[in-house]
Amino acid sequence: MNIFAEAARLEEGNRPFALAQIIESRGSTPRHSGQMLIMADGNCIGTIGGGMIERMVIEQALAAIAERKARVFHGRMARNGQDAVGSDCGGAMSVYIDVHGLRPKLVLIGAGHVNRAIANAAKPLGFDIHVADIYSASLDPDLFPAGTTLVDGESFPDAISKMNIEPGNFVIIATNNQDCEALNVLIKQPLRYLGLLASRRKVQTFKHQLRQRGIGEDELARLHAPVGYNIGAETPEEIAISVLAELLQIRNQSSGGLMKDDIRLVRDRLVVIRGAGDMATGVALRLYHAGFQIVMLDIAQPTAIRRSVAFAQAMFDGQTCVEGVTACLAKDVDEAFEIINRNQIPLLVDEDAQCLQQLKPRFLVDAILAKQNLGTHRNMAPITIALGPGFNAGQDCDAVIETNRGHDLGRVIYHGYTHPNTGIPGNIAGHTERRVIRAPADGVMHCCVSLGDLVQEGDLLAHCGDTPVIAPLSGMVRGLLQPGLEVKTGTKIGDIDPRGAMADFTTVSDKARAIAGAVLEAMLKLGRS
């Protein structure tokens, strides 16, 4: 069987496969040139020489198909050492593995004028197009690009059940008068994109009905409605451009917007936040939702204890999500800009803020909350704001935010200092210092419970080295230091919320929101001056 004829057939059917080609060989190898086609089920056509190296190339090809990303495999015909494949020929081979037949599936519910225009515009963009309708006359193949899969049904729910819709699919609902029926079927499916062509009034009505049916806000947030970009589109062809622009933005993981407003060119809304703990994260979320672009700087092993609401956790896990916003660890400034363009928040390991010369932000926020100034000064950015004690507004920074609980929490100070540090944690259900857990000894942190667990006074929470850490009171574990960190006696390593099951460890605190609002206020005020 001809490899390339089979590849063309699989590509036409949008069936995933990989093509492996020898790009380099040295010494004694089974072959010095050759291609092999590997299908998703492991079946192969052609050969690159057989043996152990071919077996490993097949494994790599299946992994590449699953990852949907090309790769290069290097193999040495040796028993031991780097890239060894477990054979004795002595040569070496490099194989390029490319992935094909993975066009994203676009499902159009309704075969009216707009979805026809979307189908015809989407075909050259590489989408695998499927269209459903309840009127057979609307599914005339001549109205759609070649290769479109057309599905009819007695009702839209019936047609949808025939379409094998999967989580990675893009789906657009645009029926004549049965959008609600289709939406009821699809709203709970975790699709890559679910769009509804409808007026704002219709969207509000549908969302109200869905809430009454018990559909949660997280599921409603996945719905793109009204669908597309506001470009003043009126004709089906114009609406298709509007809709497909949004689909491409999501498919390509881009931030959207005008090219002239790219973060590398215009940095008027770029904010650098020093620190990435729970208070800094509250600030980042408020500014992110207000349309600012955020970069966060922290140490390589931050000691944030409320890790479920701290973007600092990305330093350990590579990425983390708080209240639906994702933060990712970036290796350098260029990657940080790429992360911003994906509508995410980058973190850089930069304790001394040395990257500011490259970033050139308009705003800098010191949210380290060290109760002292660790090096922030007004020359770091055109507008500098700091949180809590240790800063003199008007000298160290342009504004400082009161972080002490009480009447003045969140007050913006433009000249002078905040209240001094009291050293007393906030009062929750009558408990202050008692609810804070501190390391009883030097050692490496080992956790015995997880964030969100309910514990009783006296329960074992962790070990610092060999020394046990005991719960000082009953409640919910709202804070706990990252396992594996080296701690010193007296270090804050955890936090028990005495409200127990009534506590919320998954969203930022009221204090963080108050402080974040004050930061936004200061930025807007100082930005006008």
pLDDT tens digit sequence for 349-361: 999 999 999 999 9
Predicted pLDDT of residue 127: 93
- The residues with which 270 forms a beta bridge, in sequence order, are 293
Predicted pLDDT of residue 66: 85
Q: Do 361 and 299 share a domain, yes or no? A: yes
- Residue 23 placed within a domain: yes
Q: Is the pLDDT of residue 521 over 80?
A: yes
- Residue 458 placed within a domain: yes
Q: Do 56 and 161 share a domain, yes or no? A: no
Structure confidence at residue 257 as a pLDDT band (50, 70, 90):
confident
Q: Do 74 and 167 share a domain, yes or no? A: no
- Residue 505 placed within a domain: no
Q: Do 439 and 419 share a domain, yes or no? A: no
**Of 48 and 288, more confident:** 288
How far is the CA of 322 from the CAs of 66, 215, 284, 289, 350, in angstroms?
27, 21, 10, 13, 22
Which helix (H) or strand (E) is 62 found in, with range? helix 51-67
Q: Do 170 and 241 share a domain, yes or no? A: yes
Give me the number of domains the chain comprises. Answer: 4
- Residue 428 placed within a domain: no
Q: Do 242 and 278 share a domain, yes or no? A: no
CA distance 114 to 439: 63
Q: Do 394 and 291 share a domain, yes or no? A: yes
Q: Do 50 and 154 share a domain, yes or no? A: no
Predicted pLDDT of residue 431: 66
Closest by Cα among 193, 186, 176, 189 to 243 = 193
- In single-letter form, the type of residue at position 355 comes to C
Predicted pLDDT of residue 102: 78
Structure confidence at residue 48 as a pLDDT band (50, 70, 90):
confident
Closest by Cα among 234, 245, 295 to 269 = 295
φ, ψ of residue 517 to 5 degrees: the values are -60, -35
Last-in-domain residue among 49, 70, 100: 100
How far is the CA of 355 from the CAs of 48, 276, 350, 351, in angstroms?
47, 16, 7, 10
Q: Is the pLDDT of residue 88 over 80?
A: no
Q: Do 17 and 56 share a domain, yes or no? A: yes
Q: Is the pLDDT of residue 37 over 80?
A: yes
Three-state DSSP class for residue 498: coil
Q: Mind listing the pLDDT tens digit for each residue in 391-411?
A: 999 999 999 999 998 899 999
Q: 325-334: which pairs have CB atoms within 8 A and are 24 or more residues apart?
A: 325/284, 325/285, 325/288, 327/276, 327/284, 327/296, 333/358, 333/359
Q: Do 281 and 329 share a domain, yes or no? A: yes
CATH of the domain at 462: 2.40.50.100
Query: Taking the model in full, what pTM does it have?
Result: 0.64
497 secondary structure, DSSP code? E
- Residue 256 placed within a domain: no
Q: Is the pLDDT of residue 429 over 70?
A: no
Angle 104-110-111 (CA atoms, 0-180°, nearest 5)?
A: 90
Residue 441: is it exposed, middle or buried by C-beta count within 10 angstroms (0-12/13-18/19+)?
A: middle
Structure confidence at residue 70 as a pLDDT band (50, 70, 90):
confident
Q: Mind listing the pLDDT tens digit for each residue in 108-135?
A: 999 999 999 999 999 999 899 999 999 9
Whether the upstream peptide bond of residue 420 has omega within 30° of 0, thus cis, is no
- Residue 487 placed within a domain: yes
Predicted pLDDT of residue 454: 93
Structure tokens at 302: 């931050």
Supply the range of the domain harboring residue 10: 3-100
Q: Is the pLDDT of residue 1 over 90?
A: no
Q: Do 271 and 211 share a domain, yes or no? A: no
- Residue 356 placed within a domain: yes
Q: Mind listing the pLDDT tens digit for each residue in 293-309?
A: 999 999 999 999 999 99
- The stretches of 253-365 forming alpha helices (DSSP H) are 278-289, 314-317, 333-341, 356-359
Structure confidence at residue 510 as a pLDDT band (50, 70, 90):
very high
Q: Do 455 and 370 share a domain, yes or no? A: no
Last-in-domain residue among 251, 270, 294: 251
- Region 224-240 average pLDDT: 93
CA distance 63 to 66: 5
- Region 478-482 average pLDDT: 92
CATH of the domain at 281: 3.40.50
- Residue 485 placed within a domain: yes
Structure confidence at residue 503 as a pLDDT band (50, 70, 90):
confident
Last-in-domain residue among 51, 75, 100: 100
